[in-house]
Amino acid sequence: MDTAQGFWPARADDDLVRRVRAFVAETIVPAAHEIDERDLYPTEIVRQLASLGCNTICLPARYGGAGAPYTAAAAVCEEVGYGSAAVAISLITIFQAQTIIRLFGSDSLKDRYLPRFADGMIASYALTEASHGSDIRSLDTKARREGESWILDGEKSFITSGSEAEFFVILAETDRGVSAFAVPRASAGLTAYIGHNSATFGLRNGPHVNIRLEGVRLPLDHLIGQDGKGVRQAVTTLDYSRTLAAAISIGIARAAFDAALAHTRGRVAFDRTVIEFQGIQWYFADMLARIDAARLLVTRAAEALDAPDHADVLRYASAAKLVAAEVATEVASKAVQVCGAYGTMVNAPFNRFFRDAKTYEIGGGSTEVLRNTLAKYIVKQAAS
């Protein structure tokens, strides 16, 4: 074992991983409990991550990014997720917004907004509505053309990072179908508020706010990609965000494993340390094997994103998110168990690991929807 890297040797650029690990240990780990407890958006930490180049790691150099592959972005998300899943999901919403613009936006839109991510611009991705969660084929938020403008009306709910976001990607329905729009927070007619259901028990990076849109007027080029093609664009973007979400789940699982191992190596019962009981060692054997397997799947998904033909990216991104989220919950639960009463203490980190892991079985693509995606893929492949 490389003792400098613990049980988790870097699966991407060693140098990058070492730098991010150092930042996570010095800055994120000490702040994680308070961010979770007080449900705070970690603004200062997100700006610091931007200055380390993490927020723009995959953006091309012409937009201020490092042009690195997605294996590197997955490594960053895993490391940050190890320190705090709440900080890591703050990165995910930024990546989601910049990815849809990078893939589908006009040159003017890219030139206007993408360089701002290097300066730490905070962004959110707003799709969900009170009556539309998993099913986004139609939306109650509407967009209509009026001369040289688009006008948006409606309301979004559950928007992660929305308490601090300076910029939103918002999906709305035009007369051609669901479409994506770039919406600065400063737009007249846009308000964000903390609703009755804004606070979650996990992934707490500030309340998941509601965004109200009342006659929000946007220039024509703020339509991202093609009118009516928003669902297809959102699904493509999901392949990226699901892979990175899976990496965050691996980070949570690793953190739970390491913390449980440290506790059981120090705790004495029946004249020996708890880790010396074979029954306890088997828990760790299961945890390690499952984390390793899920971690390899996340790497495979990131490699599919990096491959020029993106072959089977939907398969691996969906499988990675499905498996990693479930593994993280399972590992967090076992970590509580091997730590006994300490595992259940509010001031110990295990309840946070468990809550974050469980919440990620729903946010960013629920396990049921991911199973549907994989099932459709299997049936289609079998018929071809």
Ligand X SMILES: Cc1cc2nc3c(=O)[nH]c(=O)nc-3n(C[C@H](O)[C@H](O)[C@H](O)COP(=O)(O)OP(=O)(O)OC[C@H]3O[C@@H](n4cnc5c(N)ncnc54)[C@H](O)[C@@H]3O)c2cc1C
Using CB under 6 A as the criterion, which residues of the chain lie in contact with ligand X when the complex forms? 93, 124-128, 133-134, 158-160, 200, 203, 208, 359, 362-363, 366, 368-369, 372
Identity of the residue, 108 or 372, whose beta carbon is nearer to ligand X in the bound complex: 372
Half-sphere exposure for 100 (CA within 13 Å, toward CB): 34
- In angstroms, what is the minimal distance from the CB of 327 to ligand X? 18
As measured in angstroms, the least distance from the Cβ of 79 to ligand X is 21
* Burial group, residue 305, by CB count within 10 angstroms (0-12, 13-18, 19+): buried
Q: What are phi and psi of 134, to 5 degrees?
A: -70, -35
Q: Which residue is nearest to ligand X (CB)?
A: 133
Query: What angle, rounded to 10 degrees, do the helices at 350-359 and 29-38 form?
Result: 70
The nearest distance, CB 51 to ligand X, in angstroms, is 24
- Output 45 or 126, the one with its CB closest to ligand X: 126
Q: Cβ closer to ligand X: 13 or 164? A: 164
Instruction: Output the smallest distance, CB 362 to ligand X, in A.
Output: 4
Alpha-carbon distance of 344 to 351, in angstroms, equals 7
| Token code pair at residue 212 | 């109200």
For the record, the structure tokens of 5 come out as 């890297």
Choice between 281 and 366, CB closer to ligand X = 366
C-alpha to C-alpha distance for 262 and 28, rounded to whole angstroms: 19
- Closest contact distance (angstroms) between CB of 247 and ligand X is 16
What is the smallest separation between the CB atom of 126 and ligand X, expressed in angstroms? 5
Q: Which is nearer to ligand X, 139 or 336 (CB)?
A: 139
Distance CA 86, CA 248 (A): 10
Which residues, 6 or more positions from 168, have their beta carbon under 8 angstroms from its beta carbon? 97, 123, 124, 125, 126, 159, 162, 182, 183, 184, 185, 190, 211
> By C-beta, is 115 or 133 nearer to ligand X?
133
| Sign of the C-alpha dihedral computed for residues 180, 184, 190 and 195 taken in this order | positive
Tell me the closest approach of the beta carbon of residue 314 to ligand X, in angstroms.
17
Q: Report the Cα 290 to chain-centroid distance in Å.
A: 20
Nearer to ligand X, 76 or 159 (CB): 159
